[in-house]
Structure 1
Amino acid sequence: MILSKKNSTITVVGAGSWGTAIAGILSSKGHTTFLWGHRREHMEKLKEEGQNNKYLPGFFFGKNLIPTTDLKEAVGESEILCMVVTSQVYRSVFKEILPNLRDNTIIVSAVKGIENTTLLTMTQVMEEELIHNGKKESVQLAVLSGPSFAREVADNVPTAVTIGCRNMSTARMLQDLFGTDTFRVYVSTDVVGLEVSAAFKNIIAIATGICDGLGYGMNTRAALITRGLAEITRYGMHIGADLQTFSGLSGMGDLILTCTGDLSRNRSVGVQLGRGKKLEQILSEMNMVAEGVKTTLSGYKLSRKNGIEMPILEQVYKILYENKDCSKAVQDLLSRDMKAE
């Protein structure tokens, strides 16, 4: 597929902060951009106010950005879809999309999670559904990943990300489509590596937040980031990902951002856990989803299934799902047998 520089039609599926920021990038480049959300009341407010006041206040829409709840119309008219719904509802939304897909559509996943029931990444979820519906050959899949807080992207803060697609020519086309003077896009063919690193870094961010909440210092944070990257890389190499991915934007870059940035939802969950707050209360008070909570469950199952040692992930799992005391979890990490790095 060759897209024109202007006036292509694109649909962003998911009207949270990140979906809104992505729609803003695409519409600012002259593309007709549908922004789809499932809650009619919310989308009507977007139309009335010209901004997403709930998730990204102060970012006003241009004339090419069209909020909608009509998934059939938006998908049927679009050459490219960008999926930005949470990982645990991703499959159900994608099933609604499938009957309306045009041939030769390119679908970009911008979601950093792993499905709990199947332990599949988002492109793997889509592949499964496409095969089931006999549409695998008519659709190309890609992934957008990297250190990118939605608020800063919307404010045109210089940002760098990676687009991954098995077809390099498609990746380069998407690079041109998404890239702006402040949103720099690199390309890769390591789709699974990008997805795994993006999903697992949220777990390490929760761990880092826990230690911040307990009052530990920068030494502890640096140790968790470094050893967390080692765990993610170890798992990624086991499943055939490219080693270079884990030292790149989706690996080390996104890990640093999510573990240190005040806008990180996953780090925020960890901080509150470290301060003694219960998970149920933390989640009930959040306006947006912290993907790392659900990904911890998927990640724990994957590490056990594949026999990969991931001690930080294991302790986060025990805190979230077995109500383990945060201080005891840190002690158990530190008291493990000494070993070579």
Structure 2
Amino acid sequence: MGNKASVIGSGSWGTAIAVLLARNNISVSIYCRNHTIAEDINVNRRNSAYFPELVMPDGISATGKLSETLNHSELVYLVVPTKFIRSFILSKITDWRNACKSGKLLINCTKGLLLDPTQRTDDWLAQTLQDYEILHLSGPNLASEIVSGLPAAAVVCGPDEAARQVQRQLLSDTFRVYTGSDLVGVEVSGFYKNILAIAAGLLTELGLGNNARAALITRGLAEMSRLTAYFGGDPASLSGLAGLGDLIVTCSSELSRNFQVGMRLGRGQDLATIQTEMTQVAEGIQACLALHNWPADHVDGNWPDLPIAEEVYRIVHCGAEPRESLMRLMTRPPRSEAGYV
């Protein structure tokens, strides 16, 4: 069971996961929606669209047939942008259900929030693909550094034995994998840090300094804690790789797509232009809209205070002036830090 893996998605992160697995002598089938990418992988051992200099290791075969990849192994890594997950899975639901056997694992590697209607991705996957065991892989993992063999770490959350199976597949001397049980905390960390990364890119482009970035990360972590508690997760888990770890790297590196979006917004570029020119999806764009819409979709009166996320929404989707958003945040009513994390 452990010497094969299926990877759904051939973007930068899907390719990086396939490379990690193949370097561990795992036989990998990677599903590519783009047939040109599939041919490039099979013929040239490259994914030139994302990593033109990388020669991919042996053991990776690409296909445009989802059923072929799903039937290749019992461990399936889902690496599809969140905005496409619903339509992609539902359009091929027969393939997904026919491929499922007892004990099949679905490892969600996305970091986003579903929209129209708003829903956590892991919840939707569990409801839609009930025969799969749902896990979540996350952490401070910039794909370009991973494929270059630079050291990194991640956490996989889910039932103990299932998480250990994924850990055994991915663990190497350059990629350290921990197991965890807080599926909610890991998922919330993943999509929320993307929203904060947009804010960090804005701060950087506007030249607002390192103190402002530190305050953003710290108070952003407080918002992330409130939201994790709202969804039933453990705020203590946010001190780990998927929380603080991913937050630090995403809010500090221009390799982050969401950080790049923030920088471009800070230069005065409009969202439509940014999205048209980007070759990859920045998950924070949809995540901040989904969070803004959540209270209307799920009326329960307990929605937490998320002022940073709301200001990012205003800037990204309503064209608010970034310095005015900053002023609203800086002039909020004073309060104690204690008890308000």
TM-score normalized with structure 1 length: 0.93
CA distance in structure 1 between the partners assigned to 2:230 and 2:100 by the alignment: 36
Is 1:42 equivalent to 2:37 in the alignment?
A: yes
Give the match for residue 21 of structure 1.
16
Residue identity matched to 2:99 = L
Residue identity matched to 2:150 = V
SS of the residue 1:59 aligns to: coil
Is 1:178 equivalent to 2:179 in the alignment?
A: no
Greater mean deviation of Cα atoms: 43-52 or 79-88: 43-52
Using the TM superposition, give the Cα deviation of residue 316 of structure 1 relative to its aligned residue in structure 2, in angstroms: 0.5
Greater mean deviation of Cα atoms: 89-98 or 167-176: 89-98
Structure 2 unaligned segments of length 5 or more: list them.
none
Give the match for residue 115 of structure 2.
116
Is 1:327 equivalent to 2:320 in the alignment?
A: no
Structure 1 unaligned segments of length 5 or more: list them.
131-135
CA distance in structure 1 between the partners assigned to 2:120 and 2:319 by the alignment: 27
Contact 2:4/2:75 (<8 A) preserved: yes
Using the TM superposition, give the Cα deviation of residue 322 of structure 1 relative to its aligned residue in structure 2, in angstroms: 1.2
CA distance in structure 1 between the partners assigned to 2:243 and 2:142 by the alignment: 15
Match of 2:190 among 198, 201, 204: 198
CA distance in structure 2 between the partners assigned to 1:339 and 1:294 by the alignment: 30
Give the match for residue 340 of structure 1.
336
Is 1:295 equivalent to 2:287 in the alignment?
A: yes
Contact 2:67/2:96 (<8 A) preserved: no
Residue identity matched to 1:298 = A
CA distance in structure 2 between the partners assigned to 1:107 and 1:254 by the alignment: 22
Using the TM superposition, give the Cα deviation of residue 121 of structure 1 relative to its aligned residue in structure 2, in angstroms: 2.2
Contact 1:213/1:271 (<8 A) preserved: yes
CA distance in structure 1 between the partners assigned to 2:151 and 2:311 by the alignment: 35
Contact 1:83/1:109 (<8 A) preserved: yes
Using the TM superposition, give the Cα deviation of residue 321 of structure 1 relative to its aligned residue in structure 2, in angstroms: 1.4
Show CA shifts across 1:223-279 (max 9, x none): 101110100111111221112211111111100010001201101100111121111
Is 1:284 equivalent to 2:279 in the alignment?
A: no
Using the TM superposition, give the Cα deviation of residue 303 of structure 1 relative to its aligned residue in structure 2, in angstroms: 5.7
Residue identity matched to 2:153 = A
Contact 1:200/1:299 (<8 A) preserved: no
Distance 1:291 1:15, change over 3 A: same
- Structure 1 vs Structure 2: percent identity of aligned residues? 35
Using the TM superposition, give the Cα deviation of residue 105 of structure 1 relative to its aligned residue in structure 2, in angstroms: 1.2
SS of the residue 2:105 aligns to: strand
Greater mean deviation of Cα atoms: 216-225 or 90-99: 90-99
Write out aligned runs for 1:119-268 (5 A).
119-130=118-129, 136=130, 138-165=131-158, 167-268=159-260
Contact 2:140/2:154 (<8 A) preserved: yes
SS of the residue 2:153 aligns to: strand
CA distance in structure 1 between the partners assigned to 2:180 and 2:132 by the alignment: 18
SS of the residue 2:157 aligns to: strand
CA distance in structure 2 between the partners assigned to 1:307 and 1:91 by the alignment: 25
CA distance in structure 2 between the partners assigned to 1:264 and 1:182 by the alignment: 20
Using the TM superposition, give the Cα deviation of residue 101 of structure 1 relative to its aligned residue in structure 2, in angstroms: 1.7
CA distance in structure 2 between the partners assigned to 1:42 and 1:24 by the alignment: 15
